[in-house]
Amino acid sequence: MINIPSHIRGLIFDLDGTLADTMPIHVQAWAEAGKLYGLTITGDMILPMAGMPTVAVVPELNKTFDWNLDPVEFRHHKNEAYYRIKADLGKVRPISHIVKIAESYKDNLPMAVGTGSSHENAIVSLNDLGITHWFKGVVGADDIQNPKPAPDTFLKCADMIKVHPRNCLVFEDGPMGIEAAKAAGMQVIDIRVM
């Protein structure tokens, strides 16, 4: 188990790839949505932008590959694919060692979830995991104006749990989320190296 530094007064968790093992589903949904446009979209193309919402990733892909995808339309197709794949798999699986950390601190430190997913999708995943009640708040990409890598998601989480950003510790798996946590003045643990 991890030792939380004594100055930390609140914990913030990313969701996809941190608490919930949903990144393979997202990658597959990106690929399926891309096929509708005759495009090949791979994990290598989108994982460096993990943490950003679909509508922010699509313009980056458009720039990089000289595509002309409509972000809102693409998000619709990607979300349809995501829910179809997820329904086939059943409930979302936890990333056990991170969920265990959250469980061990849920009664001692206020906690929030800050995600690049929509608020609604986040609640569905947390309900699948049975841990929604552990968190004082959930901030989705549609709850703020500037998503990750901007600090807004995590700053709003800090506000929800009433903890100064410098006293928050963020658990993240995505480069954009790590950048966002640092921009918010928070400590961050890259769960990929735990």
Position of tokens 């093992």? 21
pLDDT at res. 30:
97
Active-site residues, by number, are: 14
- Tokens representing residue 124 in the block: 């569905």
Q: pLDDT tens track of the chain, all 194 residues?
A: 688 999 999 999 999 999 999 999 999 999 999 999 999 999 999 999 988 999 999 999 999 999 999 999 999 999 999 989 988 988 889 999 999 999 999 999 999 999 999 999 999 999 999 999 999 999 999 999 999 999 999 999 999 999 999 999 999 999 999 999 999 999 999 999 98
CATH of the domain at 32: 1.10.150
Same domain, 57 and 104: no
Q: Is residue 5 part of a domain?
A: no
Looking at residue 1, its pLDDT comes to 67
63 and 139 part of one domain = no
Q: How many Å is the Cα radius of gyration of the chain?
A: 16
Identify whether residues 28 and 15 lie together within a single domain: no
- Judge contact between 149 and 49, C-beta under 8 A: no
Q: Are 77 and 58 part of one and the same domain?
A: yes
* pLDDT in the model for residue 90: 82
Per the structure, the complete domain to which residue 171 belongs is given by: 10-21+93-193
Answer yes or no: do 41 and 108 share one domain.
Answer: no
Q: Which phi and psi (to 5°) does residue 110 adopt?
A: -70, 145
Let me know whether 59 and 149 are in one domain: no
What does the H/E/C string look like for the chain? CCCCCCCCCEEEECCECCCECCHHHHHHHHHHHHHHCCCCCCHHHHHHHCCCCHHHHHHHHHHHHCCCCCHHHHHHHHHHHHHHHHHHHCCCCECHHHHHHHHHHCCCCCEEEECCCCHHHHHHHHHHHCCHHHCCEEECHHHCCCCCCCCHHHHHHHHHHCCCHHHEEEEECCHHHHHHHHHCCCEEEEHHHC
Split into its structural domains, the chain has a count of 2
Q: Is the pTM of this model over 0.85?
A: yes
Residue ending a domain, choose from 72, 89, 106: 89
